[in-house]
Amino acid sequence: MQIQENFPLRPYNTFGIDAKARHFSSFSSAEELEELLSIQSKQLSGSSNLPPLVLGGGSNILFSKDYDGLVLKNNIPGMEELTEDEEYVYVRAGAGENWHQFVKYCLGRDWAGLENLSLIPGNVGAAPIQNIGAYGVELAEVFWNLEAFHLQEKKIYTLTETDCEFGYRDSSFKNKNKGRFVILSVCFRLRKDPIFHTSYGSLHEELDRMGIKELTIQAISQAVINIRSSKLPDPAVIGNAGSFFKNPTVSIAEFEDLKEKFPGIVGHETLSGSVKLAAAWMIEQCGWKGYRRGDAGCHEKQALVLVNYGNASGAEILALSEEIQQSVFKKFGITLEREVNIV
């Protein structure tokens, strides 16, 4: 197994941050992962003092500094149908597979459930960690189980939806299980007969604009791709990690109080009876949309997206995010929580 030193991470994070790993390697199986961990504990000076950092597509991470440890790139491949019943197809994907390519694989076989999650950057392994979601659908709704390697016990576990403790852009892997597991593969339960989710405003409008008369999962996917392409910068052109902040949730009473002070505030009632606020609207009201300082900025079309216009450091983008958080709290009394992981 080849382990490289002082390895540049710029090609491995969509922010395009010029950070380095003290040691770096990649793995394509649980066996290779275990071998690399053995090498780390026995041979790598310094790296053993930090837990290994596992990278997927690098689309939800901000390197605020170099990583003085071992970075492991998860390249586990594979997409396959496992079984089916009258209603569902159960399909498994390796954690190293590109998420959108996996979505296309399923759409090409008319397996429904992932169409609203089209064009989300990153790899399959990160999807349950973040409980990715878009346009009215969350990963938890199509999740069945996953296989994960326990770093301390050196064992493979099968974890269910209950084990993962999914929440809004949240899971046990960001809380009690943080740093304990490496996800190897994910199994999804997809419908043979689709249930369409098109109530999200801009999605409904885009389908109308496309002139869609008969809904299909392929049409919904294309509408999502059109919307995302029009609003969000391509990381290959402008470094970014998608939405930098979560949309905060408040009680209905708190929302009514905010509406009295800010009549234009945007919020949507959730199934749980709370109200999810539009973080982008609040950031824009604070004057950050389109703001740029050096090569760090807030995107001109989507205030939730912080960007690297070329050579911004992770520390500069992190500092900008903290200023945005402070100004939103000062104006609205709302604390914005970061969606992006900071290293």
Tens of pLDDT, residue by residue, the chain (343 residues): 688 999 999 999 999 999 999 999 999 999 999 999 888 766 665 555 678 899 999 988 999 999 998 999 999 999 999 999 999 999 999 999 999 999 999 999 999 999 999 999 999 999 999 999 999 899 999 999 999 999 999 999 999 999 999 998 889 999 899 889 999 999 999 999 999 999 887 898 999 999 998 999 999 999 999 999 988 898 889 999 989 999 999 999 999 999 999 999 999 888 788 999 999 999 999 999 999 999 999 999 999 999 999 999 999 999 999 999 999 999 999 999 999 999 9
Look at residue 128 in the predicted model and tell me its pLDDT.
96
Choosing from 25, 171, 243, 313, which is the catalytic residue?
243
Pick the CATH number of 239-342 from 3.40.50.800, 3.90.78.10, 3.30.300.30, 3.65.10.10: 3.90.78.10
CATH fold match for the domains 79-191 and 239-342? no
**Is residue 169 flagged as an active site residue?**
yes
Give the amino acid at 13. N
Residues 6 or more apart in contact with residue 147 via CB below 8 angstroms:
156, 157, 158, 159, 183, 184, 185
Choosing from 169, 171, 228, 321, which is the catalytic residue?
169
CATH of domain 79-191: 3.30.465.10
Map out the domains of the chain as residue ranges. 4-74, 79-191, 239-342
Q: Are strands 67-74 and 20-27 parallel, antiparallel or unpaired?
A: parallel
Residues 6 or more apart in contact with residue 198 via CB below 8 angstroms:
136, 204, 207, 215, 220
Assigned CATH class of 4-74: alpha beta
Beta partners for 81?
91
**Is residue 243 flagged as an active site residue?**
yes
Residues 6 or more apart in contact with residue 117 via CB below 8 angstroms:
99, 103, 132, 133, 134, 137, 139, 224
Tokens for 103, please give them.
């979505």
Look at residue 81 in the predicted model and tell me its pLDDT.
96
Look at residue 48 in the predicted model and tell me its pLDDT.
52
Helix (H) or strand (E) holding 101: helix 99-107
**Helices and strands per DSSP (H, E), number in the chain:** 9, 20
Backbone torsions φ then ψ of 218, nearest 5 degrees: -70, -40
Q: Is the CB of residue 286 less than 8 Å from the CB of residue 327?
A: yes
Task: Give the per-residue SS3 of 15-65.
Answer: CCCCCEEEEEEEECCHHHHHHHHHHHHHHCCCHHHCCCEEECCCCCEECCC
**Is residue 274 flagged as an active site residue?**
no
Tokens for 194, please give them.
């689709």
